[in-house]
Structure formats: structure tokens, C-alpha cells
Amino acid sequence: MQWYLCAVTALLLTTGCKKTTCKTLPEPTDPKMEYTELKDRTVGFNSSYSIDLDKDGESDFSFSTLLVGDPILKRDYRQYYISSKFYTNCQVNENEETPVLQRGDKIASAPLEGFHWYNASHVVIAQKIIEMNGTSWSGNWKQVAHAYQPVSILKGDKTYYGWIELSFDIQNERIILHRAAVAKEAGVEVKAGI
């Protein structure tokens, strides 16, 4: 009986230790990205910062500010901008606004509903309105934290999609640039923040 029990145990041990080859993990479905760490760079009033997103030695997008006075309405505007160049694009709607994306939102050749890809754009993302009786803020980026600006870069006849992660700090009146990325492969859809 003991012999029978030992034989069954040995049989179970040898079949349980069967070697199998490990399956390789599938490649991620998202394209490979070129990341730029912006290290929480701040753009306060009367300053600017440019980003070379595709690492070709030329500025692709810039963030800047401008003071605009309106003598008719008797108010001033402290405006905070994103600007694209001739071969770079932002999505812009008819109200001259850019969309605020969340992590995982898709960025592709088809712009978000109500928006269009525009090159050489200079768009207010937030502005402080200073009047005689107080101040207020406007712009769809005025109270965002770690949101994503969809962007694209044209090289030859190929378009590369990407994003810039930023926040807007109303208390200290500044843009905070966290990081950015652009696809290494042309024409492929990317996801914001991934």
C-alpha cells in the first residue's frame, strides 16, 4: 500500500512540474511616443516658454502672455496663450478656444466635434479680466489640473499626433507645463497622457 501511495505521489509531482514555454506579452496597441519632460515649468504673466516636441532643434509650440487694454469697455485682459507654428497645429473652434482633454481621450486626424486643426494659431487658453469693480477669469483652461492639449506636427506630407499636459494655477496666475509627447509613427491615433 505504501508503495502504491509513493508511486501516485511521484506521478503527480512529475506531471505538475511540466515545463512549458512562456508566452510573450503582446505589443501595446498605442504607438511608440517621443516624450518630453517639462518638469512643471511655469509660465507666469510677462513670460514665455517654447517646446521642441519632436526634438528636431526647432520650437513647435509656445506658451506666452499678453496685456490687452480695452478703453471702450474700460477693462484690461491678462491673456495666456498657446501658439503653434506654420507646420504645427492646435485644435481650435469658432470661438477661438482649444479643447481640454482628459487622460485616455483620443487624438487623431479627425478633430473633436466643433474643432478644426489650425496651423500658425495663437489662442487664448485663459484670461484675467480686470475691471474697475473687480476681476474675473474666462477661458476653458482657467481651472484645469493635469489636462491635455491635443497637437499635431506636419513633416513633409506626414502628420504626427501628440499632446501637451498642463495645468492652470489661478491663484498664482500661471500656466504649469508638466510633460508632452508626440507619436513616432505618422498618421496614427494617440491617447492623451499615454
Q: Strand pairing of 88-93 and 158-169? A: unpaired
What's the rounded Cα separation, in Å, for the pair 175 and 125?
A: 10
Using 50 as the pLDDT threshold, list the residues of the chain that sit under it.
4-8, 11-12, 17, 19-27
Phi, psi of 132, rounded to the nearest 5 degrees:
-60, -35
99-119: per-residue pLDDT in tens?
A: 999 999 999 999 999 999 999
Domain spans of the chain?
30-191
Among 147, 148, 149, 129, which residue's Cα sits nearest to residue 137?
Answer: 129
> Given this model, what pLDDT does residue 177 score?
99
| pTM for the model | 0.84
